[in-house]
Structure 1
Amino acid sequence: MPEERLTEELLERLLASSTPEAYLDEGLTVDRELPDYLFRLLGEKGMKRSEVVRASGLNGTFVYDVFNGDSRLGRDKAIMLALGMGCTLRETQRLLRLDGVSELWAKNRRDAVIIWCVDHGYSRTQTDDELYRLGEKTLLGTGPLR
C-alpha cells in the first residue's frame, strides 16, 4: 500500500487548486471506513482480535462488532482500543477521526496525559494508572480524584 500523504500537504494542494474538481481529479482523497483501518492495523501489528480484546480491556463481543462495522466505539473506548493495539499517536488520532470523535488535544489536561502515554508506548492499564495518579478520569471510568 502506498504511503498516505499528510493532511497538511493535501490541504495545501486543495487550496491551490483552481476548482474543487481539479483537486478531486488528482485522486488524492481517501474513503476509508473504521473496520478497514482496524483490520489493516491488525495485519501490520501481527495481532489477533482476541489479543486486542485482552490488551484493551473492552468486551470481546463489542470489539468484534466494531471490527464488523456494526458498532461505534466512542472516544474513550477508541482510545482503549488504540492502546490495546499498541498504536502510535498518529494511528490513534486517525482511529479517533474514523470513529467520528474528537482527536486528542494537547491543551486538554486529560488528553495531554493520554498523548504522553501513547507516545511512550504505555498499555491501557498503565495509562489508566497515570490518569488516576494525576487525578484525571480513567478510561475505565473511575472519577477524578480532585
Structure 2
Amino acid sequence: MLGEQAEPREASGKGEGSVRLTAELLEQLLASASPEQYLARANLEERPLAEYAEAVREAHGLKKSQVIRASGLNPTFCYQIFEGARRPGRDSAIMLAFGLGCSLVEAQRLLRLAGASELWSRNRRDAIIIFCLEHGMDRAQTDDELWRLGEKTLIDGGA
C-alpha cells in the first residue's frame, strides 16, 4: 500500500537504517492539537536532492557505478547530481530513480526534490512509467514499453 512505503531517514543520530513510515507521520499529525505542534516536532525539512539520492542508494546497497549503469545517464552528469552540483530534468530524474531501484513513493519524492512534476496516472506516458516502476522493471525495460506503446523513451529525453 502506498501510504505504508518507507522512505530512507537521514543518518543524523536517529539511528542509521531506521525508517519513518508515511502512515506514522499522518497518525502524528492527526493526533496533534494544532498544525504548529506537529510541525515543531516532526522535522519535515526537505533534504537536498543529492542527500536524498545518496540515502536511497545506501539503503538499497548500491554502488554509484551500479546506479549510473542502470540509469543510462551520462556518468559525469550523474556524479554531479550526487555532488549537488547539477539538478536533473524530469526524464533524467526518472532515469535516476530507475537506476536507484526506487519504489513509486521514492521516485515521486526524488522528482519533487529535483523540482520536477510527479508522475501522474492520468498522463499516458506517466502511467506506463508508473506501471513499470510498480512491476520492478528496469530503465531499459521501461524504455521498451514506452517505445512499444508509441511514447517517447526516457533515454531520448533524459541524457
TM-score (norm 2): 0.78
- CA–CA separation in structure 2 for the residues paired with 1:84 and 1:21: 37
The one of 80, 102, 111 aligned to 1:87? 102
Segments of 5+ residues of structure 1 without an aligned counterpart are: none
Identity %: 54
**2:29 equivalent in structure 1:** 13
> Contact conserved, 2:67 with 2:96, CA < 8 A, in 1?
yes
Q: How far is 1:56 from its partner? A: 0.8
> Contact conserved, 1:114 with 1:127, CA < 8 A, in 2?
yes
**1:137 equivalent in structure 2:** 152
- CA–CA separation in structure 2 for the residues paired with 1:31 and 1:113: 28
Q: Deviations over 1:3-45 (max 9, x none)?
A: 334289549938x754x54333223423311111111111111
**1:100 equivalent in structure 2:** 115
**1:26 equivalent in structure 2:** 41
TM-score (norm 1): 0.85
- CA–CA separation in structure 1 for the residues paired with 2:142 and 2:33: 43
**1:3 equivalent in structure 2:** 19
> Contact conserved, 1:117 with 1:127, CA < 8 A, in 2?
yes
* 2:63 equivalent to 1:48: yes
3-state secondary structure, aligned to 1:38: helix
- CA–CA separation in structure 2 for the residues paired with 1:27 and 1:115: 29
> Contact conserved, 1:106 with 1:115, CA < 8 A, in 2?
yes
3-state secondary structure, aligned to 1:25: helix
Q: How far is 1:67 from its partner? A: 0.3
**2:50 equivalent in structure 1:** 35
Superposition RMSD on alpha carbons, in Å?
Answer: 2.3
Segments of 5+ residues of structure 2 without an aligned counterpart are: 1-15
- CA–CA separation in structure 1 for the residues paired with 2:120 and 2:24: 17
Q: What letter is aligned with 2:132? A: C
Q: How far is 1:51 from its partner? A: 1.1
- CA–CA separation in structure 2 for the residues paired with 1:7 and 1:96: 21
**2:77 equivalent in structure 1:** 62
Q: Could you say which structure has the greater relative contact order, defined with CA pairs below 8 angstroms and 6 or more residues apart?
A: 2
> Contact conserved, 1:10 with 1:28, CA < 8 A, in 2?
no
Q: What letter is aligned with 2:92? A: K
> Contact conserved, 2:73 with 2:92, CA < 8 A, in 1?
yes
**Which aligned runs of 4 or more in structure 1 are off by greater than 4 angstroms?**
7-12
Q: What letter is aligned with 1:4? A: R
Q: What is the total number of aligned residue pairs between the two structures?
A: 141
